[in-house]
Structure 1
Amino acid sequence: MPVELNHTIVHARDNRESAAFLARILGLEVGAEWGPFVPVATSNGVTLDFATIPAESIVMQHYAFLVSDEEFDAAFARIEEAGLAYYADPHLKQPGEINHHHGGRGVYFLDPAGHGMEIITRPYDSHQRADGA
């Protein structure tokens, strides 16, 4: 069996708030609470299990989501409607912009726990795939 990422635990100040936030932006469903986790499943079978921990223990992590152009438009509209700050870069130095890396579009924003979230329409290695590399 090939190796696949199945799930990851995402630390949050409030697991329900963070799960609902991400699900709303990405147009996904919040799953049923399971023990200390509130899950959000992606279409490729990976689940993000949000777990509440003390705020001072949260270390910023980065989560990137590959979406279609239509899904990007919808998610970006929800980001703007929510009045969220967004950036073209992971260092948050280009506010109010999106990027166009690898012939696609991308944007960064923070979730309620301070994690860096990213949506992209082309994988970073797409230029290599087009060349057959």
Structure 2
Amino acid sequence: MPATFNHTIIAAKDRRESARFLRELLEAAEAPSWGPFTNIQLADGVLLQFAEPPVEIQMQHYAFLLDDDHFDRALRRLCDDGVTHWADPQMTKPGEINHEHGGRGVYFLDPAGHGIELITRPYL
């Protein structure tokens, strides 16, 4: 069997809030949660586990591939919710999206301060 990506743990200040934020934005399914984890599951089966570590959270980058209609809904939700977004990871183009790789992309921060990227075309 070839290797596939199964799950990751995402550090959060409030694991339930971070899970809710991404679950709603990504239109992901709730998943059973246990112990220190609040979980959501992406359509391809990847499990995102949110936990509150006892150390300072370091910013990480997470990118999600969406179809065009889902991207439109997610961008509308970000704007409606007043979430600042940028066209670039350096955060120099606020309120814009990019058109890289033949698609569209946007960057923003989740409730824990992680850099989230939504794209409509894969890089490769």
Please state which band the TM-score falls in when normalised by the shorter chain. over 0.9
Following superposition, the deviation at residue 32 of structure 1 comes to 2.8
Matches within 5 A, 1:21-100: 21-54=21-54, 57-100=56-99
What RMSD over aligned residues (CA atoms) do the two structures have, in Å? 1.1
Query: Structure 1: which 4+ aligned runs deviate by more than 4 Å?
Result: none
Higher mean Cα deviation, 27-36 or 93-102?
Answer: 27-36
Counterpart of 1:116 in structure 2 is: 115
Q: CA deviation at 1:104?
A: 0.3
Asked whether the 8 Å contact 1:65–1:118 carries over to 2, the reply is yes
Any idea what SS the aligned residue of 1:64 has? strand
Q: Secondary structure at the match of 2:9?
A: strand
Identity %, equivalent residues = 56
Q: Counterparts in 2 of 1:11-22, with a 5 A limit? A: 11-22=11-22
What secondary structure sits across from 2:86 in the alignment? Answer: coil
The one-letter amino acid paired with 2:8 is: T
C-alpha separation between the residues in 1 aligned to 2:50 and 2:117?
17
Using the TM superposition, give the Cα deviation of residue 34 of structure 1 relative to its aligned residue in structure 2, in angstroms: 1.3
**Higher radius of gyration, 1 or 2:** 1
Paired residues of 1:30 and 1:38 also in contact (CA < 8 A): no
Q: Kindly indicate whether the alpha-carbon contact (under 8 Å) linking 1:15 and 1:38 is maintained by their aligned counterparts in 2.
A: yes
More helix as a share of residues:
1
Could you list the runs of 5+ residues in structure 2 that have no partner in the other structure?
A: none
Letter in 2 for 1:85: T
Aligned residue for 1:9, secondary structure, equals strand
